[in-house]
Chains A and B, each alone.
Chain A
Amino acid sequence: MPTANTEEENSKSELQKNHGGGGGFTRWAVVAVIFRLALIYFPGNLNLSSRPEVSTPLTSIRRLAEGYWLKQSSMSPYAGSMYHGSPLLLSVLGPLTVKRIEGQPSHILCSLVFVLADLISSILIRATGRKLQIAYRKSLKSLNLLNKSTDSGALSSGDIAALVYLWNPFTIVACVGLSTSPVENLFTILTLYGAATGLAPLAAFGWVMATHLSLYPAILIIPVNLSYSGSWFYPPAPLSPEYTYAPPSKLFRSKEHGKVGDGKSSQEIIFSWRRVFHLLVWTSLWSVYVLVLCSISVKQHGSLQEMFQRTYGFILTVEDLSPNIGVLWYFFAEVFDFFRDFFLIVFHSNILFMILPLAIRLKHRPCFLAFVYIAISSMLKSYPSVGDSALYLGLLGLFLDELADMQFSFFLFCGYVGVSLLSPVMHNLWIWRGTGNANFYYATAMAYACFQIVLVVESVSSMLNHDRKLTKLSTSKLQK
């Protein structure tokens, strides 16, 4: 297929033009790692790991150290309701919390693990961005909409997204503040990378591990399935996976009615159930493996049921009501016991009922659908932290081409900056000085939730506007 090869060569050459951009990314990535290390070795006490914005009952390293100590004392790590994470994470990070090296800051090994996780996440975001951009350009070319002005400049959107992820103050704070969010984000990004590149075992592994660590990435099974087994826009070369974007099917129908085809075979949206089954097989294989490992790990002093009760049950029943930047703790502190179960169902279905309409509307853009799911679950989960926001803000950078016309972007930027500055102040006023009360802190949490909602709504609407414009342009070109 000569045309396909030239297409590949063209996109590769365009990306080669960003070779300078590749060097730029490497430079900035190295500086980001050095910056993190500098903050870790900072002699003063930033006290980041005790801030509620950074460490939640699920991600705190002190709780992990406590769980590891309990395990070493021949007790179940879940005794005493301190640790609520995965036993596998305990086996990996637990020994690192205990190991102390002379002259180095405490938990230095854990910090290095988190810095490494951030670095790998950014590399994976960059690779995902490249795949997305290749697919985007291909789709534009086939609709004959590509012109030189859509060349995005020195850095591709993947590079921008990776750098946004690395240099986002939220990510840096989550990494230096020793929360386990970088590890959870790594597995979520690995899922998206596997889905984008069409590697079912990788995507399944990332999804299983992300769900195992924190429950909410379970909803990503839908965009991963759509991405892996869904619409092909361009007939791919043997097993080459570029199916991350396809415009709506009515575009193809108009094309068929329109001018004579230029030799390319235009395909309708094909949803292959065989590939869904393939992905589900890999998912179940990995989940059996992880569950077997967990059951071996908890066998001595507990049971698998206890593990599920203390991890997923803890997340779903919102047992811990200490303040965080989410909206659940304040509400559940004052709800009557009689209504508690009802409101638990309401709050959790707040995430669940948005899954289906978004999936229907955005099924032609699985990566963006994943971004919207991650944003919604980061906002409405039981114990959110800035590490969760870091993830979706990084993924936002992947869609900069499509979201260029987003409204309120400056307002949102100022809002995020303002909330992240005010929230620790309000916490200090409430807890340490005693001159404020919980409403001060919850006000910033509510403002933060509002800003996140505006971000999600605006990004979805601008993405849909972009698609409508593409449709209009291509139909107008067809009619010419």
Chain B
Amino acid sequence: MRSKLPDAASSRKMAASSAVVAILASIWLCSSIAADASGSSSETTMHTNNWAVLVCTSRFWFNYRHMANTLSLYRTVKRLGIPDERIILMLADDMACNSRNKYPAQVFNNENHWLNLYGDNVEVDYRGYEVTVENFLRVLTGRHESAVPRSKRLLSDEGSHILLYMTGHGGDEFLKFQDSEELQSHDLADAVKQMKEKHRFKELLIMVDTCQAATLFNQLHSPGVLAIASSMKGENSYSHHLDSDVGVSVVDRFTFYTLAFFERLNMYDNASLSRLFNSYDPNLLMSNAYYRTDLYQPNLQEVPVTNFFGSVMETVHTDSAYRAFPQKNTPRETRIRTGNTAEDDSRRSILTDMTKAECPFTRIVSSLESKMETVGNLDSLVNYGLVMILPVLVVSVWLST
């Protein structure tokens, strides 16, 4: 015969314990839901870094000017902030140390010899016979052999702005590499399409200085690509002037006027791309500079040239220490601007505050959590909890007998 008294006591205990269980379970559930809600974020790519791929495709001494073009762009891009790690410089021949160079180890782009482009800190990534169509396409698409070092790879990500400058001899829908092979417009378009698929760029500016350069863009279809060429179909691009001391033409017209535009700028200027594109005078160029914007969303008047030709980054100042994993509730971070236009704010993402907790349970839990953060060591709390298991177990066993 079982007595009734333990049953009543045990049923009361069971009711109390089940109430406690219900409350604890609901608190935990609410906190997990709140944590999930505050943790979700939207995915917009931010402009993260700038890359430049500068390609000179011509060999031989009489193509000195192509080398000088590329080295001039290299200098400009470095001056405006892109570091060597993010520049891939491909020079098909060595003019600076060519035996026909009267000024050894010096490359000029003007007959006044005012500026030596081949200074102390020129890093050439692909030189001489390494500049082939295959290597160029491998650089663009990132499909290298495993032994290729990182300095020869275009390690861009989905937030990169890439400047692709090519110069040499070209024609109707092709560009000549090394006098032995050619890059065709559909090859270039295919490589750009692969890059877009693999999220290797956010925006791409292709600048080509060859004869009939605009035909090279005929097959481009990928969004986010802006292209400018020195001449249209049927037109030649001409060199600017002959340096009678060096003995060859030292610069091309298109590049000369591009450099003239950039020499007036420094890192903090916000001259827009439309100003650059409008600065080309067909009479001076002796060809029509053509640019293609149908694949490019933003308004050219609002895009500063430093988006492609320089590397002007926004600095974010954080007060908290660097953590290995991002926390769900980060405090508001302050930003230091480097003098860019206010329109750029719309394209940058802003970190949000901690979302306000709606459910009263989650408010309790969040206050508990904040109190716990003031507690010195969470590990000691866990250890207390573990040690408490034993007396709780003993008490519960004693109660249930």
Restricting to A179-214, which residues have a CB under 8 Å from any CB of B?
A: 199-202, 205
Nearest chain-A residue to B385 (Cβ)?
A293
Digit string of B1-28 for contact with A (CB within 8 Å is 1, else 0)?
Answer: 0110010001000100110110011001
Interface-lining segment among B70-78, B114-122, B303-311, B374-382: B374-382
A239 to B10, CA, bound (A): 12
A309 to B384, CA, bound (A): 26
In the complex, B147 has a CB within 8 A of chain A: no
Q: Are B385 and A288 in contact (CB under 8 A)?
A: no
In the complex, A146 has a CB within 8 A of chain B: no
A-B contacts counted at CB < 8 A amount to 81
In the complex, B336 has a CB within 8 A of chain A: no
Q: Are A205 and B393 in contact (CB under 8 A)?
A: yes
Nearest chain-A residue to B24 (Cβ)?
A288
Q: Are B324 and A76 in contact (CB under 8 A)?
A: yes
Number of residues of chain A lying within 8 A (CB) of chain B: 35
Digit string of B197-219 for contact with A (CB within 8 Å is 1, else 0)?
Answer: 00000000000000000000000
Given known contacts A75-B324, A75-B325, A297-B378, is B21 in contact with A288 (CB within 8 Å)?
yes
Which residue of A202, A292, A301, A303 is within 8 Å of B28 (Cβ)? A292
Q: Are B17 and A202 in contact (CB under 8 A)?
A: no
Given known contacts A75-B324, A201-B397, A288-B24, is B386 in contact with A299 (CB within 8 Å)?
no
Given known contacts A88-B382, A91-B379, is B14 in contact with A278 (CB within 8 Å)?
yes
A192–chain B nearest beta-carbon distance, Å: 15
Given known contacts A199-B401, A288-B24, is B32 in contact with A304 (CB within 8 Å)?
yes
B182–chain A nearest beta-carbon distance, Å: 41
How extensive is the interface on chain B, given as a class? 20 to 34
Residues of A within 8 A of B180 (CB): none
Q: Are B401 and A239 in contact (CB under 8 A)?
A: yes
Q: Are A296 and B386 in contact (CB under 8 A)?
A: no
Given known contacts A76-B324, A201-B397, A301-B324, is B25 in contact with A288 (CB within 8 Å)?
yes
Digit string of A345-359 for contact with B (CB within 8 Å is 1, else 0)?
Answer: 000000000000000
B390–chain A nearest beta-carbon distance, Å: 10
Which residue of A200, A281, A292 is within 8 Å of B18 (Cβ)? A281
Residues of A within 8 A of B28 (CB): 288, 291-292, 295
Residues of B within 8 A of A45 (CB): none
Q: Are B400 and A238 in contact (CB under 8 A)?
A: no
Nearest chain-A residue to B10 (Cβ)?
A278
B27–chain A nearest beta-carbon distance, Å: 9
In the complex, B299 has a CB within 8 A of chain A: no
Given known contacts A92-B386, A297-B378, is B14 in contact with A281 (CB within 8 Å)?
yes
Q: Are A281 and B21 in contact (CB under 8 A)?
A: yes
Residues of A within 8 A of B20 (CB): 285
Q: Are A293 and B386 in contact (CB under 8 A)?
A: yes
A295 to B31, CA, bound (A): 11
Residues of A within 8 A of B399 (CB): 201
B279–chain A nearest beta-carbon distance, Å: 53
Residues of B within 8 A of A476 (CB): none
Digit string of B74-87 for contact with A (CB within 8 Å is 1, else 0)?
Answer: 00000000000000
Nearest chain-A residue to B6 (Cβ)?
A239
Q: Are B400 and A293 in contact (CB under 8 A)?
A: no
Digit string of A201-238 for contact with B (CB within 8 Å is 1, else 0)?
Answer: 11001000000000000000000000000000000001
Q: Are A277 and B14 in contact (CB under 8 A)?
A: yes
B401–chain A nearest beta-carbon distance, Å: 7
Digit string of A107-137 for contact with B (CB within 8 Å is 1, else 0)?
Answer: 0000000000000000000000000000000
Residues of B within 8 A of A407 (CB): none
Q: Are A297 and B2 in contact (CB under 8 A)?
A: no
In the complex, A79 has a CB within 8 A of chain B: yes
Which residue of A200, A302, A304 is within 8 Å of B325 (Cβ)? A302
Which residue of A278, A296, A304 is within 8 Å of B381 (Cβ)? A296
Q: Are A300 and B385 in contact (CB under 8 A)?
A: no
In the complex, A435 has a CB within 8 A of chain B: no
In the complex, B242 has a CB within 8 A of chain A: no
Q: Are B324 and A74 in contact (CB under 8 A)?
A: yes
In the complex, B35 has a CB within 8 A of chain A: yes
Nearest chain-A residue to B395 (Cβ)?
A201
A391–chain B nearest beta-carbon distance, Å: 22
Which residue of B25, B386, B397 is within 8 Å of A88 (Cβ)? B386
In the complex, A284 has a CB within 8 A of chain B: yes
Restricting to B335-385, which residues have a CB under 8 Å from any CB of A?
A: 369, 372, 378-379, 381-383, 385
A79 to B324, CA, bound (A): 10
Q: Are A238 and B324 in contact (CB under 8 A)?
A: no
A109–chain B nearest beta-carbon distance, Å: 16
Q: Are A285 and B14 in contact (CB under 8 A)?
A: no
Restricting to A220-266, which residues have a CB under 8 Å from any CB of B?
A: 238-239
In the complex, B323 has a CB within 8 A of chain A: yes
In the complex, B244 has a CB within 8 A of chain A: no
In the complex, B42 has a CB within 8 A of chain A: no
Residues of A within 8 A of B392 (CB): 289
In the complex, B99 has a CB within 8 A of chain A: no
Residues of B within 8 A of A285 (CB): 17, 20-21
A289 to B17, CA, bound (A): 13
Q: Are B400 and A296 in contact (CB under 8 A)?
A: no
A464 to B17, CA, bound (A): 40
Residues of B within 8 A of A74 (CB): 323-324
A295 to B211, CA, bound (A): 67
Residues of B within 8 A of A277 (CB): 14
Residues of B within 8 A of A205 (CB): 389, 393
A27–chain B nearest beta-carbon distance, Å: 29
In the complex, B40 has a CB within 8 A of chain A: no
Nearest chain-A residue to B369 (Cβ)?
A299
Given known contacts A75-B324, A76-B324, is B386 in contact with A202 (CB within 8 Å)?
no
Q: Considering residues A79, A291, A296, which has the most beta carbons from chain B within 10 angstroms of its beta carbon?
A: A296
A278 to B397, CA, bound (A): 13
Q: Are A296 and B372 in contact (CB under 8 A)?
A: yes
Q: Are A297 and B3 in contact (CB under 8 A)?
A: no
Q: Are B382 and A91 in contact (CB under 8 A)?
A: yes
Residues of B within 8 A of A295 (CB): 28
A-B pairs, 8 with minimum CB distance: A201-B396, A293-B385, A297-B382, A75-B324, A288-B24, A91-B382, A284-B21, A199-B397
Q: What 17 new A-B contacts, CB under 8 Å, besides A74-B323, A239-B6, A301-B324?
A: A91-B379, A92-B386, A199-B397, A200-B400, A239-B401, A277-B14, A278-B10, A281-B21, A282-B396, A288-B24, A289-B389, A289-B392, A293-B386, A296-B381, A297-B379, A302-B325, A303-B35
Q: Which residues of B are interface residues toward A (Cβ below 8 A)? A: 2-3, 6, 10, 14, 17-18, 20-21, 24-25, 28, 32, 35, 323-325, 369, 372, 378-379, 381-383, 385-386, 389, 392-393, 396-397, 399-401
Interchain residue pairs with CB less than 8 A apart (21): A75-B324, A75-B325, A88-B386, A91-B383, A199-B400, A201-B400, A202-B393, A238-B3, A278-B14, A281-B18, A282-B17, A285-B20, A285-B21, A288-B24, A289-B385, A289-B389, A292-B28, A295-B28, A297-B379, A297-B382, A303-B35
Q: Which residues of A are interface residues toward B (Cβ below 8 A)? A: 74-76, 79, 87-88, 91-92, 199-202, 205, 238-239, 277-278, 281-282, 284-285, 288-289, 291-293, 295-297, 299-304
